[in-house]
Structure 1
Amino acid sequence: MTQEPRPSTVDRFDDDDYPAYTMGRAAEMIGATPAFLRAVGEARLIAPLRSEGGHRRYSRYQLRIAARARDLVDHGTPVDAACRIVILEDQLDEALRLNERLRDDQDGGGDRTG
């Protein structure tokens, strides 16, 4: 039985989805508090992974999302509303990408005889 090669530590840190950051470090990186990160987790904006010891671990991707919510909160938006806004913005972006792809497929798949 052959094993897949394990990614090196450097490769993991290059991976935006690798849960590399502890709660304290993550909060420091986005200029927030650990309580803010717990709140955005409770609002289901992000779902940090847990270490074997049960500690929350965050990826760079998750921190970018949390930072967007923090910016809204800094401008007076309640945390729950900020999380919902970020979720809806992402859903809208995805819908626009899908519509564009469907339009491209439709334009490219038509009759080109005339």
Structure 2
Amino acid sequence: MTADDSYDRFDDDDYPAYTMGRAAEMIGTTQSFLRAIGEARLITPLRSEGGHRRYSRYQLRIAARARELVDQGTPIEAACRIIVLEDQLEEAQRINAEYRRAAAQQADDTTAD
């Protein structure tokens, strides 16, 4: 591994850089909360060679959103489902925007002829 490879990991949202303890501390929750959302399959932490859970920044953002919902009184299973649905909606909106841009570009190309 080169020094450049190490620095690239700092920018990689999916790199599993954080231990369970550090992850829990960063989002202000407990390790058992992280285990619970893992059991609910909201996030699946990677495992170190020693078998310890490791979390990425992307997973921490998801966990923080789950914590926010649970703190508002939402049951953990419902919070996980809400987050999955929010993610699906965001993806559908992104795809829809791409289709609209493509259709607009096609219409512009047709009128330019």
- The alignment's TM-score, normalised by the length of structure 1, stands at 0.89
Unaligned runs of 5+ in 2: none
The answer for the alignment partner of 1:112 in structure 2 is 111
**SS where residue 54 of structure 2 aligns?**
strand
Q: Following the alignment from structure 1 to structure 2, what is the Cα–Cα distance between the partners of residues 6 and 91?
A: 37
Q: Following the alignment from structure 1 to structure 2, what is the Cα–Cα distance between the partners of residues 10 and 107?
A: 40
The equivalences for 1:1-114 within 5 A come to 7-110=4-107, 111-113=110-112
**What one-letter code is carried by the residue in structure 1 that aligns with 2:111?**
R
**SS where residue 99 of structure 2 aligns?**
helix
Deviations 1:52-95 (CA, angstroms, capped at 9, x unpaired): 11100000110001100100000000111101101100100110
Unaligned runs of 5+ in 1: none
Per the alignment, do residues 89 and 8 of structure 1 end up closer, same or farther by CA in structure 2, a change over 3 Å counting?
same
| Structure 1: 4+ residue segments shifted above 3 A | 4-8
Q: Following the alignment from structure 1 to structure 2, what is the Cα–Cα distance between the partners of residues 45 and 7?
A: 32
Higher helix share: 2
Q: Count the aligned residue pairs.
A: 111
Fraction of identical pairs, as percent: 68
Per the alignment, do residues 7 and 83 of structure 1 end up closer, same or farther by CA in structure 2, a change over 3 Å counting?
farther
**SS where residue 57 of structure 1 aligns?**
strand
**SS where residue 100 of structure 2 aligns?**
helix
**SS where residue 86 of structure 1 aligns?**
helix
Over aligned residues, Cα RMSD in angstroms? Answer: 1.7
